[in-house]
Structure 1
């Protein structure tokens, strides 16, 4: 019988289809951090709370679209920093490169998070 450990690897890789304006999406390999179910729930709770706070502040403080967008970009960059440890872009994996990714590739943050979430879905069993 094969020996299999219950513990998950601390990181895993997945391809992310990064949308490009006016061009075909590009497949980029990302290295992701593994979180157990409890830590993952805490992480998502924090992101949901931050998004709700941004929306509320936008209303109550009368943010401009530019101000709201700046906060969204900060949140998206933080999300990518938390769940990733690297990528296969030609650009080095740095805070500045992450900020450039979220500000220049509109669909990239969601694509990265979708690929991350997809990795957690149970594998489909045969027919």
Structure 2
């Protein structure tokens, strides 16, 4: 049975469904950065002024892809898979909200 700790891990993993044009979607596991309620409120307020790539860099710190997780590759993913940045951001927000709802 999982135990609740008052200081959550600084990162958590979740799978994101990335759509591929002309093919099935692929699930890619990301390492996401945990945020407190106050940090999340500030992040949500800042979203409107951030590029989609910056949003991904703000929420994630890694992925299960062969290519390293860095700004250049995040931009390449965003150019190659148009819906990927929003899917990554939305999964991150959903996971944090789900975690809060369970606690």
Instruction: Name the TM tier (shorter chain).
Output: 0.7 to 0.9
Residues 48-127 of structure 1 aligned to structure 2 (within 5 Å) = 48=48, 50=49, 75-122=51-98
- TM-score, L = length of structure 1: 0.72
Aligned to 2:15: 15
Question: TM-score, length-normalised on structure 2?
Answer: 0.87
Unpaired stretches in structure 2, ≥5 consecutive residues: none
Superposition RMSD on alpha carbons, in Å?
2.0
Describe the shift of the 1:3–1:116 C-alpha distance in structure 2 as closer, same or farther (beyond 3 A): closer
Distance (whole Å) between structure 1 residues aligned to residue 45 and residue 98 of structure 2:
21
Query: Per the alignment, do residues 47 and 24 of structure 1 end up closer, same or farther by CA in structure 2, a change over 3 Å counting?
Result: same
Runs of 4+ in 1 over 6 A off after TM superposition: none
List runs of 5+ in structure 1 lacking aligned partners: 52-74
Deviation of 1:23 after TM superposition, in Å, equals 0.8
Question: Which protein has the larger Cα radius of gyration, Structure 1 or Structure 2?
Answer: 1
